[in-house]
Structures are given as C-alpha cells and as structure tokens.
Amino acid sequence: MSVPRYWREIRYRYRLIGERCADCGALFFPRRGACPQCGSKNLEECKLSERGTVASWTVIRNPPRDYGKYSPYVVALVELDDGVRVLSQVVDVEPDEMKTGMRVEATFRRVKEDGSSGLIEYGYKFRPIIG
C-alpha cells in the first residue's frame, strides 16, 4: 500500500524533519540531499526537537505586503535542543519581551492564505514556552 503524496507532504509541513548523515553523524535542516559536512548522500530522515533556545533575534518592521497584517514581527535564530539551528518567526510575543536565551517551542499554523484558490499554507513558527 502506498502512502498518498498528500500525507507525505503534510508530514514535512507539520513536523520539523531534518536529515542525519549516516557516515559522519551530522544533523541538519532543512533537508538538502547531501551532507553539508562531508558531502555524503547516505542520509536518513530525522525528526528534530521541537524545543529550543533563542540564539539571536531581530524585529522586522517592514515586512513584505502579504504579511502586513502581522507587522511588526520577530524573527529568531533558534538553536534546537538537538543542536540544529533554525531561522523562524516567533509568535505570541511582543518585541520588547524577546530575550536571547529564551526557551521556545515549535508551533504549526497558517502562514498565508491565497484568497482566490482558498489555498492555505501552513508552516512552523516558534512561541515562548510559558512557565
């Protein structure tokens, strides 16, 4: 029985799935088809940690027009608990509440809606871990 393509793609949208190099052990994201450390193509899928720490961050005050209703917003470099770094928007936080070292978790939500086709794009973002 084959897995429908739709469900295969949903997996990647709703989970942080990176790759692990079977030769040197490097773990990386996003998936890119060859190991960035040794060039090996002997890779396996690896679900990444969905929690991490803010390594650095910035406030975007002039976003592209499509994202205008979210302006301004925070973009952070998040170091996941397994060591992989991911660049992501941080939601549910005011810019003046942001701190380097803040604990965050991945959340999967709507990024953009295409009014004519009704197509909704989902993606990962991060939000502070409360408590």
- The residue type of 117 is S
Q: Is 22 in the site for Zn ion (CB under 5 A)?
A: no
Q: Is 37 in the site for Zn ion (CB under 5 A)?
A: yes
Nearest alpha-carbon partner for 76 in 93, 67, 89: 89
35: CB partners within 8 A, 6+ apart? 19, 21, 23, 24, 26, 28, 41, 42, 43
Q: What is the smallest separation between the CB atom of 83 and Zn ion, expressed in angstroms?
A: 14
Q: What is the distance between the terminal CA atoms of the chain, rounded to a whole angstrom?
A: 44
Using the minimum distance from each CB to Zn ion, give the nearer residue, 38 or 87.
Answer: 38
Q: Is 26 in the site for Zn ion (CB under 5 A)?
A: yes
Question: Among residues 35, 43, 80, 86, which is the contact residue for Zn ion, using CB under 5 A?
Answer: 35
Q: What is the smallest separation between the CB atom of 77 and Zn ion, expressed in angstroms?
A: 22
- The residue type of 120 is I
Nearest alpha-carbon partner for 57 in 96, 27, 84, 31: 96
Chain residues 40-69 in contact with Zn ion, contact rule CB under 5 A: 40
* Contact stretch for Zn ion (CB under 5 A) within 4-12, 35-43, 67-75, 109-117: 35-43
Q: Is 84 in the site for Zn ion (CB under 5 A)?
A: no
Q: What is the smallest separation between the CB atom of 41 and Zn ion, expressed in angstroms?
A: 9
Strand order from edge to edge, sheet including 17-21: 27-28, 17-21, 43-47
Binding site for Zn ion (CB under 5 A): 21, 23-24, 26, 35, 37-38, 40
